[in-house]
Amino acid sequence: MLGKLDLMLIMHYIMLYKLYMKRGLRMLKNRVKELRARYGYTQSELGKQVDVTRQTIAFIEKGEFSPSITLSLKLAKVLQVEVGDLFWLEEE
C-alpha cells in the first residue's frame, strides 16, 4: 500500500508537472494574429494557405499550441517575415 511519503511525492510530481506544462505553454510567443490582420486574412484563409484547419491557426494565435518547424516556416513565408520575427521565446 502507498505510504504517506509516497502520496506526498506523487502530489509533488503532479505539481511540478503542471508547473512545467504551464511554463511550456507560455514560453512561445508569436505575431501570427497581428500579421494575419495586416494582410487581411481570416483564420480559415491563412489555414488553407498553409494546409491546416482554422482551429489550428486559432490555437497558435492563442499560444495554446506550438507549431512544428515546417508549419512555422510555411506561416513565415505566407506572412512574409522571418521565422524569428514571427515566433520567439518569452524570455527574449
Contact positions toward another protein, by CB under 8 A? 51-60, 62, 64-65, 67-68, 71
Q: Which is nearer to another protein, 57 or 76 (CB)?
A: 57
Q: Cβ 56 to another protein, closest distance in Å?
A: 3
Between 51 and 90, CB nearer to another protein: 51
Beta-bridge partners for 87 = 30
CB of 4 to another protein, least distance (A): 18
C-alpha cell at position 58: 486559432
Distance, in Å, from the CA atom of 45 to the CA atom of 36, rounded to the nearest integer, reads 10
CB of 64 to another protein, least distance (A): 7
Whole-angstrom Cα distance, residue 91 to residue 28? 9
Residues 26, 89 contacting (CB under 8 angstroms): no
